[in-house]
């Protein structure tokens, strides 16, 4: 047990129990709630990080909400009928003999109870008050425990923490860099790290065979519920390892984090190939907490007369009990699919009398029964079908499945999943160059080297893998290329010429001339892991000082202009916004 006593207090408010009756205690904390009983008697809930305790104060005092008090008094049992079972300290109260006001408070901009919904900008502007609320207190505690469990798990496996710099040259994670102007070299800029990727690989060349870091990463991308400009990653790299070894290291870390919060250690994490994930779930980050999987129907309609189904790929999902869905809602869903790029969406309700759908009349009886069988359809279900190019059909149904079936974050338990065998390239850019699916240091799959040599680029798999938790991409990693020739070949394929490669990553390529060990690594988002473990849908709820969706910090006002002298020192001039130029 931690000793929380200090020169100002003997105990914490929330720690007191019936065992403490008759002790004289000194407590410090905030006035949480106050109830008057007659003119002279006040009941006050005093709050600190550990919780609240009831004070009984006799005598006139002007004690308002959020005043900070130091009180001394005796612990006594509450009269029997007033004990509060719901509160850990509910059996007792403090009969206060002495009150000192340590500081006063203005009236608050919003109430601090968890029942009131408060506008987010207001919460963030006064984040120091928001942090006093029990939700944030609990979330930051979860976060600290997750950090600590992950650190311990990595260290148990012989990883050592190495800190890498913040002011660096650009890293290749594919997002936009945040840049910092150099005063010593006006016109030159540092990039803030999108990840410690290159440094951790250099650590491997440096003989640090198991590196980890809880690293701050910065990416200038549009913000979403699961994305902030800056975020924390558990970043790891190891030498003389294969993909399997990395999966074991990282599984241990996330299982330890989950156990630290839930008290239960998750079992072995299942693996699924990228292709299987795409075919069954329409996404590379399947939420396997629920079914509604994508069912292949291409064969069922191979000979169909129905034009809309004469497509390279026909797939469907079954919404159990969805036959009740209204026409309006079906129209909405169809529009939604169009906004995702669908040409259309076919819906069918499974009724006692067969399929009820505007298109049922275009399907033969055989097609209808083959469809019902393939979908495992039962009366009362709704079937939704997309016919398109394979990629598009998977993508649209994958989004639809999530839209219609995804349970709230607090339901369905923790379902981790390894997605392995990612393609090396995710497609071609406008200039005809392939786009790396992970980053350019990812080792091609050993079985696909011939395809790489032949130039069948989209058939080449890589030794890259993702970790998914309840449909959130938690992290990615790969076995790295450690041979210069292979790296040069991949750069060549990516359209990165020798000169560009040298100027961007020359230091890594140079290092690889001096005995680089085979190595592999991974990184996962601590914010995302913590949010799910804390039962929060938005990572802002588990970050002490996050930015709003638009990237602003209402607390400090960042980003702000800097003064002319600073600009001059940095050799910078600010142009008027494009619209005014
Ligand atoms: N650097 C990668 C990332 O941040 C992770 C890795 O490959 O280790 O996503």
Domain assignment present for 174: yes
Measure the CA–CA gap between 270 and 217, rounded to whole angstroms: 28
Domain assignment present for 423: no
Domain assignment present for 339: yes
158 C-beta neighbours (distance < 10 Å), count = 11
pLDDT recorded at residue 439? 85
The response to whether residue 477 sits with its C-beta less than 6 Å from ligand 1 reads yes
Number of folded domains that form the chain: 3
> What's 35's domain CATH number?
2.40.50.140
Quick one: which of 391, 366, 186 has its CA closest to 278?
Answer: 391
Measure the CA–CA gap between 286 and 470, rounded to whole angstroms: 7
**Tokens read off for 503:** 């100027």
C-beta of residue 236 within 8 angstroms of C-beta of residue 523:
yes
- 529-542 pLDDT tens trace: 999 999 999 999 99
| Residue 139 and residue 98 share a domain | no
Question: How far, in Å, is the centroid of ligand 1 from the Cα of 206?
Answer: 19
Quick one: which of 152, 251, 150, 201 has its CA closest to 526?
Answer: 150
> What's 396's domain CATH number?
3.30.1360.30
C-beta of residue 380 within 8 angstroms of C-beta of residue 352:
no
pLDDT recorded at residue 327? 94
Q: Side-chain half-sphere of 471: how many Cα atoms within 13 Å?
A: 22
Instruction: Supply the range of the domain harboring residue 18.
Output: 13-103
251 C-beta neighbours (distance < 10 Å), count = 17
Cα dist from 252 to 28, 76, 249, 413, whole Å: 40, 46, 5, 18
| Residue 367 and residue 307 share a domain | yes
| Residue 127 and residue 254 share a domain | yes
Last residue of a domain, one of 405, 422, 455: 405
Helix or strand run (H / E) with residue 401: helix 390-405
> What's 187's domain CATH number?
3.30.930.10
| Residue 298 and residue 255 share a domain | no
Question: How far, in Å, is the centroid of ligand 1 from the Cα of 436?
Answer: 13
Give 157: exposed, middle or buried? Use CB within 10 Å, 0-12, 13-18, 19+. middle
| Residue 140 and residue 257 share a domain | yes
| Residue 95 and residue 31 share a domain | yes
Locus of tokens 């097609």: 367
Domain assignment present for 64: yes
Measure the CA–CA gap between 94 and 14, rounded to whole angstroms: 12
| Residue 218 and residue 130 share a domain | yes
Q: What is the phi/psi pair of residue 200, to 5°?
A: -70, -35
| Residue 304 and residue 221 share a domain | no
Segments in 292-389 forming alpha helices (H) = 327-339, 365-375
Question: How far, in Å, is the centroid of ligand 1 from the Cα of 467?
Answer: 12
- 105-146 pLDDT tens trace: 999 999 998 888 999 999 999 999 999 999 999 999 999 999
pLDDT recorded at residue 171? 72
Quick one: which of 366, 328, 372 has its CA closest to 349?
Answer: 372
Measure the CA–CA gap between 532 and 288, rounded to whole angstroms: 15
Residue from 521, 526, 528 whose mutation best tests the ligand 1 pocket (most atoms within 8 A of CB): 521
Residue from 195, 241, 253 whose mutation best tests the ligand 1 pocket (most atoms within 8 A of CB): 195
Last residue of a domain, one of 405, 425, 453: 405
C-beta of residue 517 within 8 angstroms of C-beta of residue 482:
yes
Domain assignment present for 484: no
Measure the CA–CA gap between 280 and 12, rounded to whole angstroms: 52
pLDDT recorded at residue 36? 84
pLDDT recorded at residue 62? 87
**Residue 379 DSSP class:** T
Domain assignment present for 578: yes
Residue from 194, 213, 219, 235 whose mutation best tests the ligand 1 pocket (most atoms within 8 A of CB): 235
| Residue 99 and residue 127 share a domain | no
pLDDT recorded at residue 580? 59
| Residue 88 and residue 34 share a domain | yes
Ranges of the chain whose pLDDT falls below 70? 579-581
Domain assignment present for 7: no
Pairing of strands 92-103, 68-77: antiparallel
> Looking at 429-555, which runs of residues are DSSP E strands?
434-436, 464-469, 472-479, 519-525
Quick one: which of 573, 531, 551 has its CA closest to 140?
Answer: 531
| Residue 154 and residue 229 share a domain | yes
pLDDT recorded at residue 581? 53
pTM of the predicted model as reported, rounded to 2 decimal places: 0.94
The terminus-to-terminus CA distance of the chain in angstroms comes to: 64
Domain assignment present for 117: no
| Residue 173 and residue 228 share a domain | yes
Measure the CA–CA gap between 541 and 140, rounded to whole angstroms: 9
Last residue of a domain, one of 70, 103, 136: 103
């Amino acid at each position: 047990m931690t000793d929380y006593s200090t020169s100002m207090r003997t105990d914490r408010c929330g720690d007191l129990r019936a065992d403490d009756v008759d002790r004289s205690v000194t407590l410090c904390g905030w006035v949480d709630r106050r109830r008057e009983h007659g003119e002279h008697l006040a009941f006050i809930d005093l709050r600190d990080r550990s919780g609240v305790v009831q004070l009984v104060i006799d005598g006139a005092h002007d004690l308002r909400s959020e005043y900070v008090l130091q009180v001394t008094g005796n612990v006594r049992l509450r009269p029997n009928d007033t004990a509060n079972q719901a509160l850990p300290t509910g059996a007792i109260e403090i009969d206060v003999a002495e009150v000192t006001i340590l500081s006063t408070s203005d009236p608050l901009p919003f109430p601090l109870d968890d029942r009131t919904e408060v506008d987010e900008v207001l919460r963030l502007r006064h984040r120091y008050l928001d942090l006093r609320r029990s939700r944030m207190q609990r979330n930051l505690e979860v976060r600290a425990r997750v950090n600590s469990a992950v650190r311990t798990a990595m260290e148990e496996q012989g990883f050592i923490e190495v800190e890498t710099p913040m002011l660096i040259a650009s890293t290749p994670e594919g997002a936009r860099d945040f840049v910092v102007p150099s005063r010593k070299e006006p016109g030159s800029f540092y990039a803030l790290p999108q990840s410690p990727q290159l440094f951790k690989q250099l650590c491997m060349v440096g003989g640090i065979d198991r590196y980890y870091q809880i690293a701050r990463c910065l990416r200038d991308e549009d913000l979403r519920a699961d994305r902030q400009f800056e975020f924390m990653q558990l970043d790891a790299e190891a030498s003389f390892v294969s993909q399997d070894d990395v999966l074991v290291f990282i599984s241990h870390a996330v299982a330890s984090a989950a156990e630290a919060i839930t008290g239960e250690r998750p079992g072995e994490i299942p693996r699924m190939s990228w292709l299987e994930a795409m075919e069954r779930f329409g996404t590379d980050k399947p939420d396997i907490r629920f079914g509604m999987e994508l069912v292949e129907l291409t064969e069922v309609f191979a000979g169909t007369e129905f034009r809309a189904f004469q497509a390279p790929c026909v797939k469907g999902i079954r919404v159990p009990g969805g036959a009740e869905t209204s026409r309006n809602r079906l129209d909405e869903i169809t529009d939604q699919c169009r906004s995702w790029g669908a040409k259309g969406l076919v819906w069918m309700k499974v009724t006692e009398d067969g399929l009820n759908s505007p298109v049922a009349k275009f399907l033969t009886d055989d097609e209808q029964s083959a469809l019902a069988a393939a979908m495992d359809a039962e009366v009362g279900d709704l079937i939704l079908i997309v016919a398109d190019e394979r990629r598009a059909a998977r993508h649209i149904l994958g989004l639809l499945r999530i839209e219609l079936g995804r349970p709230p974050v607090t339901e369905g338990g923790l379902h981790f999943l390894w997605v392995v065998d990612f393609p090396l390239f995710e497609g071609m850019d406008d200039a005809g160059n392939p786009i790396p699916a992970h980053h350019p240091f990812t080792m091609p799959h050993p079985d696909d080297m011939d395809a790489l040599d032949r130039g069948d680029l989209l058939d080449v798999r890589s030794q890259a893998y993702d970790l998914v938790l309840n449909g959130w991409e938690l992290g990615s990693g790969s076995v790295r290329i450690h041979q210069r020739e292979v790296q040069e070949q991949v750069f060549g394929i990516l359209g990165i010429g020798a000169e560009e490669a040298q100027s961007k990553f020359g230091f890594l390529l140079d290092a690889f001339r001096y005995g680089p060990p085979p190595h592999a690594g991974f990184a996962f988002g601590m914010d995302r892991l913590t949010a799910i473990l804390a039962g929060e849908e938005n990572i802002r709820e588990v970050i002490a000082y996050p930015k709003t969706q638009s990237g602003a910090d209402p607390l400090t006002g960042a980003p702000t202009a800097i003064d002319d002298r600073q600009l001059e020192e940095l050799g910078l001039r600010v142009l008027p916004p494009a619209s005014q130029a």
